[in-house]
Amino acid sequence: VNKWDAIEKDSHTIYEYDKIIKDRLHFTEWAESIYVSAETGQRVEKILELVKTAAEQHKRRVSTSVINEALEDAMKWHNPPTTRQGRQGKIYYATQVSSQPPCIALFVNDPKLFNDNYRRYIERQFRQNLGFTGTPLKLLWRGKKVRDAELANNPNRATKV
């Protein structure tokens, strides 16, 4: 946020602006915000620090075991939702499939069983436990039927014995 020097401030101003930014830019809640003044140079040096941190997180890779530990902890606190018909979502495991931006594939029984609230919860848990500050995090929810179809279409893949 630039032109911070032009705003009349009191002890609550920054909190009010934080709330406004989070409300209007809710889809970028993962992004860091900093209040600067280009004219006076106030906190300008922190911009490059935040950009450097975000770039490092953007390129970062995390091992499958660490991702699955974070996932297991998240599921201990909050189980996957159950439908009215009694079906419950199951997450078998997760792995990072790419970086720039980081992309984690979660292998589940049926992606439709996981509502948006639970998906956001899992993303928040990954951010808290694995980092990924200042960068978007893409989660792919892959169902068993999709995996079975891929195996059937690709004869070079290993098959069950």
CATH of the domain at 103: 3.30.300.20
Q: Is residue 59 part of a domain?
A: no
Joined tokens for residue 32: 């860091």
Query: Given a cut of 70, is residue 64 above it in pLDDT?
Result: yes
Whole-angstrom distance, CA of residue 11 vs CA of residue 95: 44
Identify any residues that bridge with 104 across adjacent strands, giving them in sequence order. Answer: 96, 139
For the chain, percent of residues with pLDDT exceeding 90: 34
Both 93 and 124 in a single domain? Answer: yes
Residue 49 within a domain:
no
Long-range Cβ contact pairs of 18-26 (< 8 A, separation 24 or more): none
Report the pLDDT value the prediction gives residue 156, as an integer from 0 to 100: 62
Buried/exposed code over 19-44 (b: 16+ C-beta within 10 A; e: otherwise): eebeeeeeeeebeeeebbbeeeeeee
Q: What pLDDT shows up at residue 161?
A: 45
C-alpha distances out from residue 103 to 41, 72, 94, 160, Å: 36, 18, 10, 27
Does residue 95 sit within a domain? yes
Q: How confident is the model at residue 82, as a pLDDT?
A: 84
Same domain, 71 and 144: yes
Residue 101, preceding peptide bond in cis (omega within 30° of 0): yes
Same domain, 16 and 68: no
Q: Are residues 87 and 136 in the same domain?
A: yes
Confidence of residue 53 (pLDDT cuts 50, 70, 90): confident
Residue 141 lies in a domain: yes
- Provide the domain count of the chain: 2
Residues 71 and 146 in one domain: yes
* Run of H or E residues at 84: none
Same domain, 9 and 73: no
Is residue 51 in a domain? no
User: Given this model, what pLDDT does residue 12 score?
Assistant: 77
Are 35 and 69 contained in the same domain? Answer: no
The values of phi and psi at residue 103, to 5°, are -130, 125
User: Residue 19's domain spans which residues?
Assistant: 4-43
- Pair (68, 137) in one structural domain: yes
| Contact criterion met (CB below 8 Å) for 119 and 111 | no
DSSP structural state of residue 116: H
